[in-house]
Structure 1
């Protein structure tokens, strides 16, 4: 089976993303992975949120959710002082992020293999919402 898109669906893109659910709460997913990457890069929860275009409150809520869902915090924070506070990924946070990125890469590979099956059934773009 060819992986070339049909002409009328050249813009179509099938995207499948992994979410780790703990009961009804999203323990980890693509947005939280991006947030961990940004915290690692900036050393700050608030700077990471700004980098991702998230409000301060939303950023802290996501960190809190991750830290509540895992047996150990994924993000560790330091309080102020002469140098100010800061945040970093815990050892578990580094491991969770690494394995999540590997899982997503495997899902992306499988998605590319199966996209030709779904492609003929998809519209070139979604219809407008009716409500």
Structure 2
């Protein structure tokens, strides 16, 4: 038995969560939305639609496009995009650690054994 959960930010509707955060982290690492999308088996057009939808909901740009040429194009996170991504990622990491401790406290082997033996 294992605890599962999803985290996201919302304001009347879902604004930002694990999936978009992961894509933006990959863009930051790879310098390209196309490469980030390929890394998670998402089409480039799906990735752009997701980013555009997020930008509209959030009210600010997450990515800046770099125009192609001899060095190729690419994408980079805006200052706000990087701030949001890093803050959400740090929160997620801390929340995972805390939830793991709570899981071990409440749903440990003793708990599971009591359920199996009907000793509740």
TM-score scaled to structure 1, two decimals? 0.72
Equivalent residue, structure 2, for 1:13: 2
Residue in 1 that maps onto 2:58:
70
Q: Pick which of 36-45 and 101-110 moved more.
A: 101-110
Count of residue pairs the alignment pairs up: 110
Larger relative contact order (CA 8 Å, sep ≥ 6): 1
TM-score, with normalisation over the residues of structure 2?
Answer: 0.77
The residue aligned with 1:43 is 31
Instruction: Could you tell me which runs of 5 or more consecutive residues in structure 1 were left unpaired when the two chains were aligned.
Output: 1-11, 124-131
Deviation at 1:36, TM superposition (A): 0.6
CA RMSD in angstroms, aligned pairs only: 2.1
Task: Point out where structure 2 has 5 or more consecutive residues left out of the alignment.
Answer: 116-120
